[in-house]
Amino acid sequence: MNIYDVSKRAGVSIATVSRVLNGNPNVSEKTRSKVHSVMDELGYTPNVFARGLGLGTMKTIGIMCSDSSDPYLANAIYYLEQQLRSNGYDSLLCCTGPSLENKRTYFELLLSKRVDAVILAGSKFVELIDKDNMYLIDAAKELPIMLVNGFLDAPGIYSTVCNDYEAMYHVACRLIESGKKHILYLYTSHSYSGLNKVEGYKNALSDHDIPVRREYIHQCAKSLTDSRKLMEELADSGLCFDAVMTSDDSLAVGAVKFACSRNISVPEELAIVGYNNSLLSYCTNPEISSVDTKVSQLCTTTVDTLMSVFAGGSVPSKTVIAADFIQKQTTNF
Amino acid sequence: MNIYDVSKRAGVSIATVSRVLNGNPNVSEKTRSKVHSVMDELGYTPNVFARGLGLGTMKTIGIMCSDSSDPYLANAIYYLEQQLRSNGYDSLLCCTGPSLENKRTYFELLLSKRVDAVILAGSKFVELIDKDNMYLIDAAKELPIMLVNGFLDAPGIYSTVCNDYEAMYHVACRLIESGKKHILYLYTSHSYSGLNKVEGYKNALSDHDIPVRREYIHQCAKSLTDSRKLMEELADSGLCFDAVMTSDDSLAVGAVKFACSRNISVPEELAIVGYNNSLLSYCTNPEISSVDTKVSQLCTTTVDTLMSVFAGGSVPSKTVIAADFIQKQTTNF
DNA sequence: TGTAGTTCTGTAAGCGCTTACAATCTATGG
DNA sequence: CCATAGATTGTAAGCGCTTACAGAACTACA
């Protein structure tokens, strides 16, 4: 069952069938509908390979994410996939895991599959983006690259990011203004957004004449237990803190666990702020106040931007989405 | 840059290059290495479309899931993707959402992309599988269909499932033997695994001479809040229960919230059991005892089975994975 | 050295589609 | 009624790869 069968049955040439298939306007209405009805009748589906061969593209976008089991990224993938599909694109998914080598390999793999663009979802592609940035910059000469929550200023690379700096600055200010003096800051990575977040925290402190002290800023693995352990160690070492801001909800869950186990009242003795407002932040008791980074908007915007790029429009290399602070039970201001 | 360039440079015909590309044994070692080195030198990558056209396949597996933002499915996708890739296959992802129509559309779409097989991940494909089962059965004549956590007995359809019945039976027995008398059962859907689970619960009760009463079995939306509300209503209506078993961790989270808000001690006054042992079950305080359905194993097995199918081996139409009960803080037996 | 059998390589015909270009209509005005 | 522009359709040449088949080169043995 191929284009020839359709053309024969419809009494037209294969070129005409192909034109109908591609919505070419140079086909009379009569012929078009005839061909359509024959296609329906025969249940014809064009062969994507032949089509890809001819067109050099297959309307497929590669999505790379470090770990789809992270609730935040899982959500992102969901929205990206939906939005791509509603624009007529498929998504080829790659979960790379943490290794840089894998990321490279999978990136190459996507290229070799002739995807029309690559979306790097999440901030876990720092090395790809930074240390070795000619890599992506070179690749971007061949096809558009979209960064979700990452930023690299180069032609062909487009970023959609959250206003992490402002969000964190704002939260820190409100914590301080509500009387908190010793705010712990826990983060998972030195990504683009990670750096902005901590900058927001630091500046809020400075702007309120609070010294930024290194003992209050700690990196921590993205897990429910590590942040808890870390806080226990810090508390045991005599560090005083009355609030903790985190770069990810999972760390905040650990903070809640820490508070529970030590009978520390939340938010009175310890305020806790999460980030991403993921499902996790709703599971704990008390529920974690968190920054909603608008994944859905972030992803929708990313895809919209990509479509504009395809359409040849002039497109800003960076789009910023405004986050929302969602007050729940671990803060009160 | 195509196969001709390589053939010219290597001084052989394109057929030979193609043979090298496909690992055809009828190529002398000398020629093979020559071609390989030229390919490296030129940085040649075969065009997947042309290849697909010739072969009629592109080593791509379609994965359908209802909602990748469900932590359980997100995990499944992750493992599936990993395992497929390590077998040299790509995955085309489709998040269908709940609508049956979408599921059909996306399934067709995957077929039209000429994927080599389709994996239906999760138990949310009941309608596709049951109500209209000739649909899948017919499709399975064309290509293998793999069900993760679903079952349909037909040629070309292969299932990997968890021993949900046994797992639930076992948990219920232990609850009963530890003194619980009024066990609530909350579930989300009437899927294959859903039915097995409730059957396990019922039989455990019967086998301990406890009447199975309808007031104790309730369907509930998969959300953190709905199960809580439901339990509040049930409690307020005067129903007595000292344990609650759920078909999904998210419902158990709601149960914990219910207990917290009413100051009911867990597990003494109310034991709570989750299902899937997902991240959520580790977030609450107390942490939720849950049934580990071994997603990783489930997915690995699914892919392995698929590879056996491709290899032409004789393959069981159903593989059962044994679940583990993970005792945490909401039960004590 | 000749020959049959093996191993290796090349030729050429697809795979199903797109599209530049040529050919054929159709409608319009003179 | 004819020329002409514009609309519509057809022809045929790719796109880059696979593979059946034919042919060349090599091997072993008499």
What residues are paired with A186 via a beta bridge?
A218, A246
Cα B181 from Cα B205, distance rounded (Å): 9
CB proximity B279 to A under 8 Å? yes
Task: Look at residue A214 and tell me whether its pLDDT is greater than 90.
Answer: yes
Query: Of the given ranges (B89-103, B292-306, B319-333), which has the lowest mean pLDDT?
Result: B89-103
Contacts of B218 (CB under 8 A, 6+ apart): B184, B185, B186, B187, B230, B234
Q: Please indicate whether residue B241 or residue B77 has the higher confidence score (pLDDT).
A: B241
Number of Cβ atoms within 10 Å of the Cβ of A133: 15
User: According to CATH, where is 3.40.50.2300 located in chain A?
Assistant: 59-163+295-323, 164-293
Q: Is the CB of A51 under 7 A from strand C?
A: yes
Give distance CA A114 / C1' D22 (Å): 35
CA distance A291 to B283: 18
Q: Are A306 and A144 in contact (CB under 8 A)?
A: yes
Q: Where are the domain boundaries for CATH 1.10.260.40 in chain B?
A: 3-46
B-chain residue closest to A284, CA distance? B284
What is the arrangement of strands in the sheet containing A243-246, beginning at the earlier edge strand?
A217-219, A183-187, A243-246, A271-275, A289-292, A324-326
Cis-peptide, bond into residue A267, ω within 30° of zero = yes
Structure tokens at B178: 């530890």
Q: Which CATH class is domain A3-46?
A: mainly alpha
On whether the CB atoms of residues B272 and B259 are closer than 8 A, the answer is: yes
- Closest-approach nucleotide to residue A28, Cα vs C1': D8
Q: Give the domain B56-163+295-323 fold.
A: Rossmann fold (3.40.50)
When the candidates are 3.40.50.1220, 3.40.190.80, 3.40.50.2300, 3.30.465.10, the CATH number that belongs to A164-293 is 3.40.50.2300
pLDDT band at A210 (very low <50, low <70, confident <90, very high): very high
pLDDT tens digits, one per residue of B264-283: 999 999 999 999 999 999 99
| Per-residue pLDDT tens digits for A141-167 | 888 999 999 999 999 999 999 999 999
Q: Which residues, other chains included, contact A245 with Cβ-Cβ below 8 Å and sequence gap of 6+?
A: A168, A171, A172, A175, A183, A184, A185, A186, A201, A273
Q: How confident is the model at residue B67 (pLDDT cuts 50, 70, 90)?
A: confident
Report residue B306's pLDDT band, with 50, 70 and 90 as the boundaries.
Answer: very high
DSSP one-letter string for A237-263:
TT---SEEEESSHHHHHHHHHHHHHTT
Would you place residue B85 in the very low, low, confident or very high pLDDT band (cuts 50, 70, 90)? confident
Q: Please list the residue range(s) of chain B that carry CATH number 3.40.50.2300.
A: 56-163+295-323, 164-293
Q: Is B187 helix (H, G, I), strand (E, B) or coil?
A: strand
Asked if B286 reaches chain A (Cβ–Cβ under 8 Å), the answer is no
> Does the CB of B68 have a partner CB in chain A at under 8 Å?
yes
Name residues 178-237 of chain A within 8 A of B (Cβ).
224
Does 3.40.50.2300 match the CATH number of domain A59-163+295-323?
Answer: yes
Span A244-299, pLDDT tens digits: 999 999 999 999 999 999 999 999 999 999 999 999 999 999 999 999 999 999 99
Among residues B214, B222, B163, B215, which one has the least CA distance to residue B187?
A: B222
